[in-house]
């Protein structure tokens, strides 16, 4: 593969790593929020929901802005905004202000998926796009894993906010380097609103987006409660719980890389083969949620969560590759925003529901809820695979 390919992939992945470190520090810091503000498990879920609400509200307008102005501007400014949001979260003196700060942090993270997906499909030739998507998506799990170690590891030596401060500084540095070095295709320069009308008439795209609602519920709730669950139910230390979350992210990275490679190399119609990979990931996630619910020792929890992470955190690259078989290239920014909105919307209801069940029943009921959610997603993915393919050339032209 040529130098231009690796330059684009490296810069976009580095951006994604830095942005995800900023965003996912909130998930890693849930035990500290609980201690600092005296929160219940349900109130911890509200923190995660508020973070993702900010993300969801701004996804569609940011997707349209990305199509108009290009990913270089939106991604550079977005990372600076994420760094500023980190400082606000770390300095929040009350629970109410913490919620306001995480809402702002989530709103700026809305630049991530529209911008990075547009970079992949605008700048990389067909036949290499799925692997590039898998590598780029490793930036999400990689950044999340780093944030888990950064926040939980340093808290024992300094104070829990120090991880937020380090992530903010790193974000500013990466934003400056990305702005200087990245060369993308640019934007359309038009003031069109998101291409929602065309997408609304695309049945397989709509089915995929709805499946994303349930997949996102499983993904974000897993990352939001892993540390708390391992600490409270398994009885491990916060530091060990942070390592488990990092392992979840590490194996999720492996799942994204393998999913991207398989999407490029398996034979057959792209919509069918990539949808089939997504189906396997979804069903396996449902089974492993039931396994996690029955773990009782730190070792078993680590193994079970590693396997779960491979599938439930490993699906996103394949999810967007599947989307690229359903929409034209000129709608990538808006289509990505719509699918990411669906993923994120799942995190608006699932974490509080998970926390409520853990408060009133037990964690086993909470994990079983996520297993059921994944089975619903699997039914919708089957419908995507069996749908008639869209008319015309899609972003994944072969």
Q: Residues 89-100: pLDDT tens digits?
A: 888 888 889 899
Local structure of residue 331 (DSSP, 8 states): G
Element (H, E) at 367: helix 363-386
Contact 120, 191 (CB under 8 A): no
Greatest Cα pair distance in the chain: 58
Rounded to whole angstroms, the Cα distance separating 215 from 347 reads 9
pTM of the entire structure?
0.70
Q: The domain that contains 48 carries what CATH number?
A: 1.20.1250.20
pLDDT tens per residue, range 167-184 = 888 888 888 887 787 776
Q: Do the domain assignments include residue 258? A: yes
User: What is the pLDDT, as a whole number, of residue 184?
Assistant: 64
What is the pLDDT of the chain when averaged over all its residues? 80
Q: Do the domain assignments include residue 109? A: yes
Q: Do the domain assignments include residue 396? A: no
> Which residue has tokens 């089975």?
375
Other Cβ atoms closer than 10 A to 3 = 7
272-286 burial: b if 16+ Cβ within 10 Å, else e? ebbbbbbbbbbbbbb
User: What is the pLDDT, as a whole number, of residue 16?
Assistant: 86
The total number of structural domains in the chain stands at 1
Element (H, E) at 326: none
Q: Do the domain assignments include residue 361? A: yes
Reduced to 3 states, what is the DSSP secondary structure of residue 124?
coil
Q: Do the domain assignments include residue 273? A: yes
Q: Do the domain assignments include residue 398? A: no
Q: Do the domain assignments include residue 205? A: yes
- Quote the radius of gyration of the chain (alpha carbons, Å): 19
Other Cβ atoms closer than 10 A to 265 = 10
Rounded to whole angstroms, the Cα distance separating 162 from 155 reads 7
Other Cβ atoms closer than 10 A to 119 = 27
Distinct helix (H) and strand (E) counts, the chain: 16, 0
pLDDT tens per residue, range 104-115 = 988 888 887 777
pLDDT tens per residue, range 293-313 = 888 888 888 889 999 989 988
Range of the domain at 125: 3-182+193-386
> Which residue has tokens 């879920």?
45
Question: ∠207-212-213 over CA atoms, to 5°?
Answer: 100
Q: Do the domain assignments include residue 219? A: yes
Rounded to whole angstroms, the Cα distance separating 151 from 191 reads 41
> Which residue has tokens 């929040």?
92
């Amino acid at each position: 593969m040529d130098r231009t390919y690796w330059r684009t992939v490296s810069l976009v992945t580095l951006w994604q790593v830095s942005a995800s470190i900023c965003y996912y520090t909130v998930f890693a810091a849930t035990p500290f929020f609980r201690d600092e503000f005296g929160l219940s498990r349900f109130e911890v879920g509200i923190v995660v929901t508020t973070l993702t609400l900010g993300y969801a509200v701004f996804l569609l307008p940011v997707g349209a802005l990305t199509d108009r102005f290009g990913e270089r501007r939106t991604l550079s400014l977005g990372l600076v905004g994420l760094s500023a949001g980190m400082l606000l979260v770390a300095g929040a003196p009350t629970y109410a202000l913490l919620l306001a700060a995480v809402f702002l942090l989530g709103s700026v993270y809305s630049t991530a998926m529209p911008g990075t997906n547009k970079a992949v499909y605008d700048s990389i030739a067909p036949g290499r796009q799925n692997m590039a998507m898998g590598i780029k998506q490793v930036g999400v799990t990689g950044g999340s894993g780093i944030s888990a170690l950064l926040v939980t590891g340093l808290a024992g030596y300094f104070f829990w906010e120090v991880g937020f401060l380090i992530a903010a500084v790193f974000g500013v540095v990466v934003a400056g380097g990305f702005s200087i070095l990245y060369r993308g295709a640019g934007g359309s320069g038009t003031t069109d609103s998101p291409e929602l009308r065309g997408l609304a008439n695309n049945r397989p795209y709509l089915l995929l987006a709805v499946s994303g609602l349930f997949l996102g519920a499983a993904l974000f709730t897993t990352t939001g409660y892993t540390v708390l669950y391992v600490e409270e139910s398994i009885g491990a230390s916060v530091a060990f719980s942070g390592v488990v979350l990092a392992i979840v992210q590490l194996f999720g990275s492996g799942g994204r890389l393998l999913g991207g490679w398989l999407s490029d190399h398996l034979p057959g119609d792209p919509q069918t083969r990539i949808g089939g990979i997504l189906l396997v990931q979804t069903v396996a996630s449902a089974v492993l949620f039931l396994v996690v619910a029955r773990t009782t020792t730190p070792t078993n929890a680590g193994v079970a969560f590693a396997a779960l992470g491979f599938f439930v955190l490993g699906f996103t690259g394949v999810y967007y590759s599947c989307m690229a078989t359903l929409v034209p290239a000129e709608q990538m920014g808006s289509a990505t925003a719509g699918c990411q909105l669906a993923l994120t919307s799942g995190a608006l209801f699932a974490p509080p529901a998970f926390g409520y069940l853990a408060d009133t029943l037990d964690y086993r009921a909470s994990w079983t809820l996520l297993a059921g959610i994944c089975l619903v997603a699997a039914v919708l993915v089957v419908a995507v695979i069996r749908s008639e393919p869209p008319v015309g050339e899609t972003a994944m032209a072969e």
